[in-house]
Amino acid sequence: MSQSMIFDMDGTLFQTDKILELSLNDTFNHLRLLNKWDTETPIDNYREIMGVPLPKVWETLLQNHSIEVREQTDAYFLKRLIENIKSGKGALYPNVKEVFRYLKENQCTIYIASNGLKEYLKAIVSYYHLDEWVTETFSIQQIDSLNKSDLVKSIIDKYEITNGAVVGDRLSDINAAKDNGLVSIGCRFDFAREEELSQADLVIDDLIELQTLLPQLNK
């Protein structure tokens, strides 16, 4: 039976933490220069909501700013993220390429479903040559509802997936699997929360564990 694996990007495949604080500091320094921010960079506040779509991020971090300022900040932040990715300041989690190679060798189709924006995801996939294994990368921008479950459903519908799993670190990934009748595999990585992981069907501490789990999923 053919198997499909749908991976989250941030905090699952890509170690977002390595460029997050750097890019956020760049962005809020920019706001300070524009006299639109006068306190420390709210990195801790961002960590609390890590994984939500970026428009929601700016609604939270810039509550007292106009929609125009939020949109300008969003564009600047995206620019800094991409520049930091292309300059090699980010990193994949251990064993990503090894696991992808194993999955492809065992007739497993790989997709990415992320709350990240298209250009950001494209930068990661391109820099790390993930398209060697990934069939298609999907961004939350493609879904009007900005709902991860709807994004995963769009992948299932497009590729007629009947058997598979969603691999991710947050509750939105776990719910996306359950809402679509797939197996949920939680990743106990940087941004994961135990109360969310407790709702997953399976939990891993390293992506390499997927090599052991794949035969079980195929049963």
Cβ-contact 13, 128 below 8 angstroms:
no
What residues does each domain of the chain span?
A: 3-15+91-217, 17-86
Note the pTM of the prediction, 2 decimals. Answer: 0.90
- Give residue 219's pLDDT: 59
- Give residue 49's pLDDT: 81
- Give residue 137's pLDDT: 98
* Average pLDDT per block of 10 residues along the chain, 219 residues long: 90 92 94 95 86 84 94 94 95 97 95 94 97 97 92 97 95 96 95 94 96 80
Identify the CA nearest to 19 among candidates 90, 78, 80: 90
- Give residue 2's pLDDT: 76
140: tokens are 């939350």
- Give residue 50's pLDDT: 74
- Give residue 128's pLDDT: 97
Q: What is the CA radius of gyration of the chain?
A: 17
Pick the CATH number of 3-15+91-217 from 3.40.190.10, 3.40.720.10, 3.40.50.1000, 3.40.50.970: 3.40.50.1000
The dihedrals phi and psi of 76, each to the nearest 5 degrees, come to: -70, -45
